[in-house]
């Protein structure tokens, strides 16, 4: 693992750190006669579950976005900053583009589509294991056709297919659009990722260092903690439960004995879901808490006392106010 913490000293992310926030950066380095500094925003776009967040984490070398085998894991836009000797690449992980079933889904798809307009390079991720494009991929290809930004086709999960199959699969997806490059990778194993970074860097315009070198994400610490709890719920529950969950960190209290006390509320939509999350004699909630706490301790480097509560908020995924409260910013 490389890099420093998400925001040193546990401070919330600095403001003005939105994608496209051109005014937010410091001046570019590089004196006269030197190679100009390059920078820019790079969107990671694709259907749910294709591995966008896995790629983001692999690129940054730290877990800043949660990952799961359930579609629609990522609900908001997450920035990951990669500093290179002469460049700064700012990756924008987005929610998977899908047919929305509720207000939350609409919001997620809107974020992903809007990001397309705000970046210098688009990486469109598809799954090699699909072998050929499906309706979801074709829909995204149509959206991409309307954007003039350079696009790289990224065929992910090549570890799941025979090496001899990869180029034929990539070719089937390549026919869906105009791409400046095609990269076949395994985000999980890191295969092909350095080559992808080099290709992206070559496409970036001259520009400033937008973020300080020690900042690797715009996610506030509390938001990452909430996501780590949600990630364990995604791993441990099934069917509609994972999607009906929102997590709110009530506060982060650093106590004199060095322990960080973190009360957090898990919101679900129905009593039945609450029962599942609590589990028999509280076993499920205890396991969620145990696993999330370990991840949080690794992130903060201090001991955590995680105090989890479960509450019902009927139909929160269709309520604008609830979405804003749960950090689903637009």
Ligand X SMILES: Nc1nc2c(ncn2[C@@H]2O[C@H](COP(=O)(O)OP(=O)(O)OP(=O)(O)O)[C@@H](O)[C@H]2O)c(=O)[nH]1
Binding site for ligand X (CB under 6 A): 46, 48-54, 67-69, 71-74, 95-96, 156-157, 159-160, 186-188
| Site residues (CB under 5 A) for Mg ion, limited to 69-128 | 73-74
Partner touching 112 among ligand X, Mg ion, none, CB below 5 to 8 Å by kind: none
CA dihedral 210, 111, 68, 15 (to 10 degrees): 30
Sketch the per residue contact string, 30 through 69, with Mg ion: x for CB under 5 A, - otherwise: ----------------------xx----------------
The CB-of-73 to Mg ion minimum distance in angstroms stands at: 5
Residue 115: contacted member of Mg ion, ligand X, none (CB under 5 to 8 Å, by partner type): none
Rg (CA), the chain: 20
Nearer to ligand X, 72 or 273 (CB): 72
Based on CB atoms, which residue is closest to Mg ion, 74 or 219? Answer: 74
Chain Cα centroid distance, residue 223: 12
**Nearest distance, CB of residue 62 and Mg ion, angstroms:** 15
Between 190 and 212, name the residue whose CB sits nearer to Mg ion: 190
CB of 53 to Mg ion, least distance (A): 3
Minimum gap (Å) between residue 245 Cβ and ligand X: 14
Sign of CA dihedral 62, 45, 183, 36: negative
In the complex with ligand X, the residue whose CB is nearer, 50 or 60, is 50
CA distances from 275 to 219, 227, 268, 309, 326 (A): 31, 21, 10, 12, 21
Query: For residues 57 and 63, is the Cβ–Cβ distance under 8 A?
Result: yes
Q: Cβ distance 136 to 176 under 8 Å?
A: no
- Residue 68's alpha-carbon distances to 72, 131, 213, 328, in angstroms, are 9, 21, 29, 18
Report residue 55 as tokens: 């790629």
Secondary structure letter of residue 329 according to DSSP:
-
Q: Which of the choices ligand X, Mg ion, none does residue 160 contact, using the CB cut-off of 5 to 8 A by kind? A: ligand X
Give contact residues for Mg ion (rule: CB under 5 A): 52-53, 73-74
């Amino acid at each position: 693992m490389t890099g420093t913490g998400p925001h040193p000293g546990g401070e919330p992310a600095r403001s003005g750190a939105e994608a496209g926030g051109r005014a937010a950066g410091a001046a570019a380095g590089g004196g006269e006669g030197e190679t100009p500094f390059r920078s820019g925003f790079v969107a990671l776009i694709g259907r749910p579950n294709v591995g966008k967040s896995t790629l983001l984490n692999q690129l940054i070398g730290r877990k800043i976005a949660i990952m799961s085998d359930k579609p629609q894991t990522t609900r908001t836009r997450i920035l990951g900053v990669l500093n290179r000797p002469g460049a700064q690449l700012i990756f924008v992980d987005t929610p998977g583009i899908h047919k929305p079933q509720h207000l939350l889904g609409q919001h997620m798809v809107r974020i992903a589509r809007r990001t397309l307009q705000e970046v210098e390079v688009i990486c469109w991720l598809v799954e090699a294991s699909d072998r050929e494009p499906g309706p979801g991929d074709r829909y995204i290809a149509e959206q991409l056709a309307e954007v003039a930004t350079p696009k790289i086709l990224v065929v992910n999960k090549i570890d799941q297919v025979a090496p001899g199959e990869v180029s034929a699969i990539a070719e089937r997806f390549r026919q869906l659009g105009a791409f400046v490059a095609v990269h076949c990778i395994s985000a999980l194993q890191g295969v092909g990722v350095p080559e992808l970074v080099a290709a992206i860097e070559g496409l970036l315009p001259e520009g400033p260092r937008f973020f300080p070198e020690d900042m690797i994400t715009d996610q506030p610490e509390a938001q990452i903690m909430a996501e780590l709890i949600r990630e364990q719920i995604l791993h441990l529950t099934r069917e509609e439960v994972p999607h009906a969950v929102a997590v709110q960190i009530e506060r982060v209290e650093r106590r004199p004995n060095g322990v960080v006390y973190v009360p957090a509320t898990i919101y679900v939509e129905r009593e039945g879901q609450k029962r599942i999350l609590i589990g028999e004699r509280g076993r499920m909630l205890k396991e969620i808490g145990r696993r999330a706490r370990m991840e949080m301790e690794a992130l903060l480097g201090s001991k955590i006392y995680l105090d989890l509560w479960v509450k019902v908020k009927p139909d929160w995924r269709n309520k604008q106010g609830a979405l804003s409260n749960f950090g689903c910013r637009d």
